[in-house]
Amino acid sequence: MSARVLRAEGLSVETWRGREPVPLVRDVGLELRTGEVLALVGASGSGKSLACAALLDLLPPGTRRTGGQIVLDGTETEPAGLRGRAVASVLQAPRTAFNPLRTIGDHAAETPGKPGRAAMAEAFAAVGLGDDPRVPELYPFQMSGGMLQRAMIALALLSRAPFLIADEPTTDLDLVAQRRILDLLAGLVRARGLGLLVVTHDLGVVARLADRVAVIEAGRIVETGPVASLFADPRQPATRALLAAHRALHEIPVEVVA
């Protein structure tokens, strides 16, 4: 099966102060292929989440898309038509993404395509929630942050979309839960040939997961390339600054005296 390609070209987003437009995302282009992981990296406020929201047609109120197109396998497509069909999404705060009054099973039954019991069981098993038969009957408040993020990934899988967009999927989780979610995502990309776009500020996440990286600064993509060359030979000041801070915090090897 040949790789499917999702491409965003010239995405621009702006807000406005009074009547003055303020650009937030400028001419962002991204190319995502099935079977690979693309990381969109930037510091807080760089516009990475907005670029991703523009791709999904989920821009917050007070912002608007002023340009750009989405091309799926060479055909220009409306972003709204992609969501849930070609592109599934996993958002940063899983607790706010679920209706607190409905069970996880209710949420699963509502995904496009009306999945049957077997499909639901399969999706929950794929995200590591299959061992406990009570999971579909649980309400969001009865689950930990890590479980909720797994459930959200299961819902994304149910849509059978070839592409998955994950916006800071582990920000609200502790490191142990984060590690497990990243392992899960990596496994799903390998097993199902998903194309994954992961938005993050953490170069550790990039190092763990990504094949290619796009660095965003002040709403613009400043550098794109394979993950190894970006770590080995960063070209742009923004990339260097992110890497320097990352190394300052984490480069010291973890010595363990058992």
Partner 1 sequence: MTALLAAQGLGKAYAQGGWRRVPPRPVLAGIDLAIAAGECVALIGRSGSGKSTLARLLMGLEAPDEGTVLFRGAPLAGLDRGGLTTFRAAIQMVLQDPLSAVNPRHRVGRILAEPLRHLTDLPPASRAARVAKLLEMVGLDPEAESRLPGQLSGGQVQRIGLARALATRPALVILDEAVSNLDAPRQVDILDRLADLRRRHGTAFLLVTHDIRLARRFADRVVVLSEGRIVDAAPCRPGLALSHPAARELLDAVLPSGPGGP
Partner 2 sequence: MIAAHRLPRSGSITAAGALAAGFVVLALVGPLVAPHDPLAVDLAHRFEAPNLVHLLGTDHLGRDILSRLIAGARTTLGSVLVVLALVLALGLSVGGLSGMVGGRLDAVLMRLCDVFLTVPTFVLALFMIGALGTGLLNVVVAIVLSHWAWYARIVRGLVLELKTRDYVLAARIAGAPPRAIFGEHVLPGVVPPLAALATLDIGHMALHVAGLSFLGLGVQPPTPEWGVMINDARAFFWTRPLLVVWPGLAIALAVLAFNRLGDALRDRLDPTLIAGRGL
- Sites for partner 2 among residues 203-222 (CB under 8 A): none
Residue from 5, 27, 31, 63 touching partner 2 (CB under 8 A): that is: 63
Question: Helices 145-158 and 175-192: crossing angle, nearest 10°?
Answer: 20
Q: Which residue has the tokens 């660095």?
A: 215
**Binding window for partner 2 (CB under 8 A); candidates: 27-35, 60-68, 130-138, 157-165:** 60-68
Residue written as token pair 């408040």: 141
Taking CB under 8 A as the rule, does residue 253 contact partner 2? no
Pairing of strands 5-17, 220-226: unpaired
| Least Å from the CB of residue 184 to partner 1 | 14
DSSP bridge partners of 6: 32, 72
The region of 14-22, 103-111, 115-123, 199-207 touching partner 1 under the rule CB under 8 A is: 199-207
Mask for 33-72, x = binds partner 1 (CB under 8 A): ----------xxx---------------------------
Footprint (CB under 8 A) of partner 1, residues 81-100 = none
16 binds partner 2 (CB under 8 A): yes
| 3 state SS of 7 | strand
Please state, in angstroms and rounded to a whole number, the distance separating the CA atoms of residues 200 and 170.
9
Interface with partner 1, residue 203, by CB under 8 A:
yes
Q: Does the protein bind partner 1 through residue 171 (CB under 8 A)?
A: yes
Helix (H) or strand (E) holding 248: helix 237-250
Cβ-based burial of 48 (10 A; exposed 0-12, middle 13-18, buried ≥19)? buried
Radius of gyration of the chain (CA): 19
The position carrying tokens 């209706």 is 99
Please pick, from the candidates 17, 75, 253, 254, the single residue that binds partner 2 as defined by CB under 8 A.
Answer: 17
Q: What residue 63 binds from partner 2, partner 1, none (CB within 5 to 8 A, per partner kind)?
A: partner 2
**173 interacts with partner 1 by CB under 8 A:** yes
